[in-house]
Amino acid sequence: MKLTEQVQLVGGSARGMGISHDADCHIYLVTDGSEAAIIDAGAGSEPELILANIEADGIPKDPIKYLILTHCHGDHAGGAAGLKQALDLEVITPTGTKPWPETPDEDAMNITRAREAGRYPPDYCFTPVEVARDVADGDVIQIGSLRLEVFSTPGHAPIHNAYLFQESDRTSLFSGDLVFSGGAVSIIWSPDTSVFDMGESIGRFREMDIDALYPGHDDISLSGGQRHIDAALARFDNLVVPHSMLLD
């Protein structure tokens, strides 16, 4: 599903466009026409739906070189092995998480607790995947002529990245599970989540004039994305926690 000249939506649950498995986050594809990257992988259930979307959108597989994860929770990273195998991708993770999907460490990725809470089926398990490299705050990921600037944004998860992208006609942010439409955040009952870190991380995008906000779930904004960031910051500035996105 074409969003802009350089960004496609190739996966997402019913809490979005409903174009892949209901356990999936939004899955984006970024391309300059000569090289492409997928951002986040979904949960790993029915990856063939994501591949079918890529094919239906007329995107050739050969230029797709990278799979870039915002963080290693199951709904964002569980599909990494399947997509890597199908498309021969280099997997890129936030610095500090590289061993987690390789081992895999389901406790570190909060999968154990989520499965016990019924967020995943009882037989759900993370398929290990080799990680080519990790990226830290200030790094740049080159995708053909395009550049993703890496921002370390802990809060929802203790290690989490957002990716700032200068499209041809807009400044865009792939925010993962940092901030959502209407200034919502995702607070989970887990040692993973730090509301204070979340506020500090969202504050990094104050007055950044973000046009497109590409979050991990729910509504996508192709213009006026800064208003959603500002809505969250207005709550934090008043010492109040923004409302949390519903996960049900």
pLDDT digits 0-9 by tens, 109-165? 999 999 999 999 999 999 999 999 999 999 999 999 999 999 999 999 999 999 999
Question: Are residues 180 and 187 in contact, defined by beta-carbon separation less than 8 angstroms?
Answer: no
Note the pLDDT of residue 245: 86
pLDDT digits 0-9 by tens, 192-206? 899 999 999 999 999
Note the pLDDT of residue 247: 59
Question: Are residues 90 and 65 in contact, defined by beta-carbon separation less than 8 angstroms?
Answer: yes
Q: Which domains does the chain have, with CATH numbers?
A: 7-237 (3.60.15.10)
Name the residue among 59, 28, 24, 30 with its Cα closest to residue 45: 24
Q: Is the pLDDT of residue 248 over 80?
A: no
pLDDT digits 0-9 by tens, 205-222? 999 999 999 999 999 999
Averaged pLDDT, 73-93 = 98
Note the pLDDT of residue 226: 98
Name the residue among 17, 70, 6 with its Cα closest to residue 212: 6
Q: What is the C-alpha to C-alpha distance for residues 96 and 85, in angstroms, rounded to an integer?
A: 23
Question: Are residues 179 and 204 in contact, defined by beta-carbon separation less than 8 angstroms?
Answer: no
Note the pLDDT of residue 14: 87
